Amino acid sequence: MSDESSVHVVMFPSAGMGHLTPFLRLASLLVNSNHCKLTLITPLPTVSHAESHLLSHFHSSFPQLNLLPFHLPPPHSPPISVDPFFHRVQTLRHSSHLLPPLISSLSPPVSIFISDIFLLTPLVSITQKLSLPNYTLFTSSAAMFSFFSHFPTLALAQSKPDADTQISFPVPGLPFSPLPFSSIPPILFQNTIFRNLLMEDSPNLTKLQGVFLNTFESLESHSLKALNDGQVLKNMPPVYAVGPFIPFEFEKKNTSTTSLISWLDDQPIGSVVYVCFGSRTALKREQMREIGNGLMRSGYKFVWVVKDKIIDKEEQEVGLDEVLGVELVEGMKEKGLVIKEWVDQSEILSHKSVGGFVSHCGWNSIMEAGLNGVPILAWPQHGDQKINAGLVEISEWGIWNKSWGWSGEHVVKGDEIGDAIKQIMKNQVLKDKAMKVKEGAMKATSNGGDCEVTIQKLIQKWKNNVNNV
């Protein structure tokens, strides 16, 4: 395809591995289609080393794409938010006026713009002025997107309920509506950046040409139908299910996982529980020690990824002995592996010895578990995770103890954790349901499956638009 007739897609991610990883997986699908020229705008500096490494490996794997650095102005002082990721999102939103000259300088002319959902409002105004079709990637479930789209209506109709209330809210598009108050992130009933972002961005969804979701029909047919039928939001643009995104080779780091995989190879099929709370959840040490006690009580072998700080740039590393205590660390050595560094999660979840996953229910983690048919013990910590946990629960491939609450509300004791681990590891119904989810995921990502067909139809549409200009 010549440059003159190429579909030139520009993509603009925001911050955090939970957003960058699916963004780059979508970019990979477009690059691999061989019908797109792709430019990735990369905000610099990154928030974490993990993001820097991922971007570097991505570019090495796809040298044909254009990496366009976007150097951000010095951050506000004091920071807009104590959360470094939300601080970065706000900086990006406030710096978006610097983008038009960069976009206009690209060759061939840009045909499509795809941005992260957190950047919706400022970029809609820019793409409208540049007459660019604008799509967004929503990095969570279709169920959560239904909530996101409906939130301003809910917020305007409800003042903050009492924290102990048992009331719930009808949310069109949720397969488990009405939504309990306890599943709504508390920050949405406070004057916070996250609430203000939802209130500002949700009404602008109708100005988009489309929304990409990392999900698939057999898992979220209810939500996808409601979204595309206009039941959630009138004049909703088309919502495209293009998942589950399959991990790519570029995501593998130089960190050797040989010893970890070798250890897993020695374990019986389905005998290991994997424990990980994502790239942003740093649990308190007291809770981490209870998790360690719970793993020991369960009697199962385990791989546990420990994280005790939000970002990996500033603070000096603290050893496991200090985080968990020497006695617990020594006691766990014969039962499993405790890791305080990056791991290839998809490689772990795809291993035959892994039979259960204790997860915070970040959407990337859920999709990776679904791709591999692994039952989930849902332990949501913040944000979209209770809504995602509700989807796992209603799909019957995992369990969720709602009394455990949000992260930090109270310390969940080791005996409860151990009993819950036993339940997911022994329950054959969960295993069977998880395999059904895997079958649906594999069908969606197969040659000629929904994901490939949707991407190819969109690219053909974009190509027609380019040729008709």
**Secondary structure string (H, E, C) spanning 14-41:** CCCHHHHHHHHHHHHHHHHCCCEEEEEE
* CA 8 and chain centroid, separation: 26
- Dist. CA 396–CA 380, nearest whole Å: 16
User: Distances in Å between the alpha carbon of 276 and those of 118, 304, 312, 369?
Assistant: 25, 6, 16, 12
Take residue 408 and report the two structure tokens written for it. 């930090």
| Dihedral Cα 336, 340, 345, 351, nearest 10 deg | -20
Active site residue 344: no
The position carrying tokens 């209770």 is 386
Catalytic one of 19, 87, 222, 382: 19
Catalytic one of 116, 201, 384, 450: 116
Helices marked H in 158-271 — which ranges? 193-201, 217-228, 258-265
Take residue 373 and report the two structure tokens written for it. 């048919």
- Give the residue among 366, 350, 351, 357 at the shortest CA–CA distance from 425: 357
Contact 306, 332 (CB under 8 A): no
3-class secondary structure, 350: coil
| Phi and psi at residue 224, to the nearest 5° | -65, -40
Residues 6+ apart with CB under 8 A from 114: 9, 10, 11, 12, 26, 134, 135, 136, 137, 212
Contact 230, 236 (CB under 8 A): yes
Active site residue 19: yes
Strands of 210-213's sheet, edge to edge?
A: 66-71, 36-44, 7-12, 112-116, 134-138, 210-213, 239-241
**Which residues are the active-site residues?**
19, 116
